[in-house]
Structure 1
């Protein structure tokens, strides 16, 4: 079969590599590692390259990648264009696919992560309403109250805690409170994909790597610019490589990282026998002379000038060598930099102008190159190909390029000093270009900040406006920082970074100062602290202050600081009574705290402000459902469906309302429609299972519960529901296994104790059954169904005094409660009441 023709990128990489000089010891060490089997104590599983900017880390990493490929390794190179662990995994998958190894399961899970994150408002509305006493375990609706929910920029979670989270539970501590709330999230796998995607994605990645290892002798992952990516990668990488928490990493995998600093000894210090530290220093004089000689630069005066100017920094040596200077030229200005020397030696004025112009953007592609250089079409391709081949230009991925910082910084300085007015004009022109592309991109309707492409263009536009020194650029960037925080911590960090970069590149101290302080606040205490700094010191108009208060409230709520979060929402509403989103978010936290009337009142206001917002209307319907206002729930959910017929959430919620009202045909129809729209909607499947139960169809009931648990295996409520279905079918041993699993996930799940107690009674394990029923009643003293099961068990054990006490307690709770139990139970309980001690 004919070989595929190499691409331009392949040829550029081959030519660049052909001229690689130096680092012989490091290359030999890495190559030798592939000749040492993983079980050999001399084999190393991780290499860490570190050294100052310009010392050649990226060049070496690319060379090591080629060495790994020569050994038959599947490889992936990831720089700092990836801003999170999921993005790193996506880049690994993309590069593996280009080498003929698709990671299909990982791609599917990454796609689900992106979808669930986008739909987190729907997934977060994970509340379960309380089922009738006597029909099985009573499960009140609860919601996730976990740090990070709203930090990701998502909307509030609806969740009624009234009647289920009492003062004793709250006194038990925030951690227990959040655990119990999380346990009631109705689509647990969606929650994990949004809140802790690494926990879901990492096992998938490791399975894929293990599968790949069966057909490839080695797997090599190269993670560059670790000084930027390490903050989110380092702990994840340590956990993935050194623990089996997420599964097994194949022994034939080698990880190579590169950054400016050595590794954190507190984290990695005890693993020296499994790693190799690769510190890089500037080239020795011999290495520098060798590289220059390889490019035909042998004139001693020129070599001496290169040695003087570069200090042996490989990126500068390579840059100067590429121009093949034949004369050292006049030294001239003693402050002249190596880059200025390179540009003087480059005799083609078009190339020289292009190199300088393309230093202005933070990243390049062919479109940005055209906008920055404004060169004729016939020169575009050859000039762009030349620039791509330069040693100081590296690929970011996705077709983007970036100058090396060591080269770009002096270029910018030279251009700014040469013509300050020309500098500002060119920055404004680039800002207009990116702004025009941003307007074409459009974003996601009213929420463009959720669109990554739109954000990237807005970020570039803001950078160039800041560099141009536009009067409103800094105030606007600070206003945008509020929206960046709403889009998540990673986006906020990007926005703070652009302030740092623009401040340094344009020598604007105020801009750099804001970027530095916001970055420090984000690193130390997160979005709450950064927004606090902004609210204290920035000049924000009233709507932006209100929006900042909402985002800050979301962060505090995610940290379970409910009183402080509510205070922030109150301030937002006071600042801007027309801000509908503030009422919506305040409704969410009021619902979580059980104040449904206040939550519905807030949503009344939100709907009045935005009557065509289908989500607000559906949210109000959900609150009504959870408050058992069935008529109002059906009204709002029907209106939500009218406004957005594709809202699977509204269909499922209305179906659940119909089921509770006894309209089983309508419930089946609505839940079926929800599942047509979203076939993997675990909550809708579990709710439909209840309809099948009411219709006397246990086969379909169990089928839906099985599917729901396949989608969300760690969902305690669904485990309990299936356990009840199995118990009703006489399969008590299997039921106990489900109850065991539910209680391992939520040790404070009263209904699971009660149900397991009932199954253990059926199995004749009376001592264990009584312990479970005691625990259920301890957790919920007014739990009539558990009291009934315990009274029946006491009667069977002939402990009639205790049985009679439980029966009397049931009557105290509700004089008609005994009528709700089965005829068999009533007969037993009646005989207990009629008996004498």
Structure 2
């Protein structure tokens, strides 16, 4: 650290003289860390601030950020507004950019992540094993992947979490092959795996330009469920790269860190527990503000209990006399507002507490008056100690906001309802405007629900409707919760929290209890458990029940229970015979079990109900192809191409149909077109390689397979295809490496066993060859080529003996 920087004592003294802190020990501990070189063994690079609501955790974190800035550090602050790990990275990138340090590659990938999520409906991979040459174990995962493509299940982290490790290893290769590249697939399936190494690389670059880089993760009691495992991973392993030594992380939440998870990391952590101010600290802060009258000080001590947010708020009013206590039912907040003599400001402080987050437009919805007066009141409110600014919006501290809400609800129930209704209308207008800007009619995706900004506006609208009229608004809120389930845990979690908060703020016991129970179900059994609870408590007349059954069926299908999923789809269709989602989901699930005829019957119904959606006809064409209905497949896929000429999947699927039928020139033209639309389309490259095989062009066959595997190296089917190409060129030793890798990825891959057996036989290893061929036939008894090859190997073995 340079000698021109102020010392720790000077910085702390400056803050105390400004009356901003009552205690200095936590700041001193943090500052001492910044006075140490990163390699010093006393260096701690994880600080955890924890304590009950109102003890000043966020205030302290902001103070620590200022101390870090004055020490020359680059800093970034994240709170619960992030919502997910990619969301947190987005906030980090923005914070660093505001200090002149752009994380350009991370920003590019985050943009791509958002785009790929919205494009995930273009991922179409259905059906069981197309023939014995494709991996059978992947079929179920592919069917689940199709549900993602059909907009029926989450397309981000929640979907990836639903697939267990073995199934990802065995089957997700075919899903990934549908994306532009392996990176695109990972950005949808497991974005952290792609984004985290880039973040660490960007942090390393930033760390070389500043003495410290400090990351502040606030409200950890809310962000910990999704940030905790990721943070532990990057701080305790080098799986994604190395965290620079001069990166410090500060977390802040209500609870201590989990010893079971973090205990082994204790040497690198510093615990900063916070409690209420002591009497001496409270008196010191009041004295700094000129509040020394003993009766006033005693009243402040009594009202606040030493909670720093309340002490600071009262200190800012600089009370100089003690009025009578007033109505004994009044809350502490009402009491400390009595020192604000301006009735307009008092009313403003109360009204501003109504929204969970406040901006100027919402402020004008609840505060009446001329524009200049309203602007001045907002500026005054922004300066209050219990108000913080996050993401351009104001937010009250929970300890202050809760009693302010209770006071208004009890004093004027009608005024409470009217103001919340006005706020709901304000959010509703914004939501309507946002809908006009969203794309509509593209595929079947619900563009509104897929948009995070729209969902946030709907959340705000629903919160205020629930506060205004809990009983009337609750059924619609549950319907919205069900709709959110189609978009994964990241979309559902805020709706569950909304019910908890609205139930508490409006003192609506039924809403509060529902929220608590749904929160427990989501935490315990995920979306399937939440939907089970919803359906179990349904009265029987809710309009969302059919959709909930279909969504639960989706969850069962991707969790490996297709038969149970089919039963749930039947429940959904019994309630709503026109529910396209259920027909489409049942079609995909049937296709995953090999029942393509049943899938086609469902897709016929889908097209009756939704004839204008080009993806439906493409999907039916794909199932015709898998069922080996050549003419019907070509007809549907051609119609799909006519309606959606930029669908690279439709071109590639028709090319595969032509290739199987033996029309190699038509197949080659279709694959060329698909690859012109998407040059790094691994599945199309591997399929075009089959055309080159049919045309006898082995060099081009191998070239396409090499390109496909460069894009998707962990692709079992692609590995087996290249192994076959090497084998027919007499390169059996090289082929074995591909077969071995294919079987590592998919241990149930019959074709890979059979092909490896032939290569082993070609190399004179007949006993091993027979073992492989026996295994292939155990997996797939009706496998003519394997039977033929086993007879040949037995003959070779007999001739040798």
Is the shorter-chain TM-score for this pair beyond 0.5, marking a shared fold?
Answer: yes
Query: How many Å apart are 1:198 and its aligned residue?
Result: 2.7
CA distance in 1, matches of 2:191, 2:72: 31
Q: How does 1:289-300 map to 2 (within 5 A)?
A: 289-300=283-294
Match of 2:423 among 424, 430, 435: 430
**CA distance 1:502–1:313, shift in 2 (3 Å):** same
Deviation per CA, 1:258-286, whole angstroms, max 9, x where unpaired?
11111122222232222111110111223
Query: How many Å apart are 1:444 and its aligned residue?
Result: 5.2
- Match for residue 477 of structure 2? 477
CA distance in 2, matches of 1:121, 1:692: 30
**CA distance 1:686–1:387, shift in 2 (3 Å):** farther
Deviation per CA, 1:115-158, whole angstroms, max 9, x where unpaired?
33323333252668646x8xxx555694453999699896469x
CA distance in 2, matches of 1:296, 1:474: 49
- Match for residue 575 of structure 2? 575
Is 2:356–2:395's contact at 8 Å kept on the other side of the alignment? Answer: yes
- Match for residue 439 of structure 1? 432
Match of 2:316 among 322, 338, 354: 322
CA distance in 2, matches of 1:730, 1:764: 13
- Match for residue 654 of structure 1? 654
- Match for residue 499 of structure 1? 499
Query: How many Å apart are 1:217 and its aligned residue?
Result: 3.4
CA distance in 1, matches of 2:17, 2:62: 8
CA distance in 2, matches of 1:409, 1:295: 26
Moved more, 692-701 or 317-326: 692-701
- Match for residue 4 of structure 2? none
- Match for residue 827 of structure 1? none
- When the two chains are superposed, the root-mean-square deviation of aligned CA atoms in Å is 3.2
CA distance in 2, matches of 1:147, 1:26: 54
Deviation per CA, 1:170-199, whole angstroms, max 9, x where unpaired?
xxx998677533354352845543343333
CA distance in 2, matches of 1:30, 1:467: 41
Is 2:122–2:149's contact at 8 Å kept on the other side of the alignment? Answer: no
Match of 1:182 among 169, 172, 178: 172
Match of 2:232 among 235, 238, 257: 238
- Match for residue 218 of structure 1? 212
Match of 1:303 among 297, 300, 303: 297
**CA distance 1:260–1:639, shift in 2 (3 Å):** same
- Match for residue 7 of structure 1? none
Moved more, 237-246 or 280-289: 237-246
User: Are 2:112 and 1:112 equivalent residues in the alignment?
Assistant: yes
CA distance in 2, matches of 1:592, 1:585: 11
- Match for residue 359 of structure 1? 353
CA distance in 2, matches of 1:152, 1:550: 14
Is 1:148–1:195's contact at 8 Å kept on the other side of the alignment? Answer: no
CA distance in 1, matches of 2:199, 2:240: 9
CA distance in 1, matches of 2:346, 2:261: 46
Is 1:438–1:458's contact at 8 Å kept on the other side of the alignment? Answer: yes
Query: How many Å apart are 1:212 and its aligned residue?
Result: 3.4
Structure 2: segments with no counterpart, 5+ residues: 1-13, 154-162
SS of residue paired to 2:267: helix
SS of residue paired to 1:102: coil
Query: How many Å apart are 1:604 and its aligned residue?
Result: 0.6
- Match for residue 717 of structure 1? 717
CA distance in 2, matches of 1:147, 1:219: 44
Is 1:612–1:643's contact at 8 Å kept on the other side of the alignment? Answer: no
- Match for residue 605 of structure 1? 605
**CA distance 1:613–1:282, shift in 2 (3 Å):** same
- Match for residue 277 of structure 2? 283
Is 2:121–2:148's contact at 8 Å kept on the other side of the alignment? Answer: no
SS of residue paired to 1:119: helix
Is 2:134–2:749's contact at 8 Å kept on the other side of the alignment? Answer: no
Deviation per CA, 1:785-825, whole angstroms, max 9, x where unpaired?
44555555555555468xxxxxxxxxxxxxxxxxxxxxxxx
Is 2:44–2:270's contact at 8 Å kept on the other side of the alignment? Answer: yes
CA distance in 2, matches of 1:354, 1:153: 49
CA distance in 2, matches of 1:243, 1:151: 34
Is 2:128–2:592's contact at 8 Å kept on the other side of the alignment? Answer: no
Query: How many Å apart are 1:361 and its aligned residue?
Result: 0.8
SS of residue paired to 1:145: helix
Q: How does 1:372-391 map to 2 (within 5 A)?
A: 372-391=366-385
User: Are 2:138 and 1:145 equivalent residues in the alignment?
Assistant: no
Query: How many Å apart are 1:575 and its aligned residue?
Result: 1.1
CA distance in 2, matches of 1:246, 1:747: 27
Is 2:146–2:588's contact at 8 Å kept on the other side of the alignment? Answer: no
**CA distance 1:690–1:351, shift in 2 (3 Å):** farther
User: Are 2:342 and 1:341 equivalent residues in the alignment?
Assistant: no
**CA distance 1:124–1:248, shift in 2 (3 Å):** farther
User: Are 2:412 and 1:419 equivalent residues in the alignment?
Assistant: yes
Moved more, 777-786 or 471-480: 777-786
Match of 1:266 among 247, 260, 263: 260
CA distance in 2, matches of 1:579, 1:396: 41
SS of residue paired to 1:220: strand
Query: How many Å apart are 1:763 and its aligned residue?
Result: 6.0
**CA distance 1:67–1:470, shift in 2 (3 Å):** closer
**CA distance 1:647–1:353, shift in 2 (3 Å):** farther
**CA distance 1:71–1:507, shift in 2 (3 Å):** same
- Match for residue 526 of structure 1? 526
SS of residue paired to 1:628: coil
- Match for residue 818 of structure 1? none
- Match for residue 29 of structure 1? 29
CA distance in 1, matches of 2:142, 2:368: 51
CA distance in 2, matches of 1:392, 1:147: 51
**CA distance 1:138–1:478, shift in 2 (3 Å):** closer
CA distance in 2, matches of 1:799, 1:45: 70
Q: How does 1:199-210 map to 2 (within 5 A)?
A: 199-210=193-204
Is 1:753–1:773's contact at 8 Å kept on the other side of the alignment? Answer: yes
CA distance in 1, matches of 2:101, 2:126: 37
Is 2:600–2:623's contact at 8 Å kept on the other side of the alignment? Answer: yes
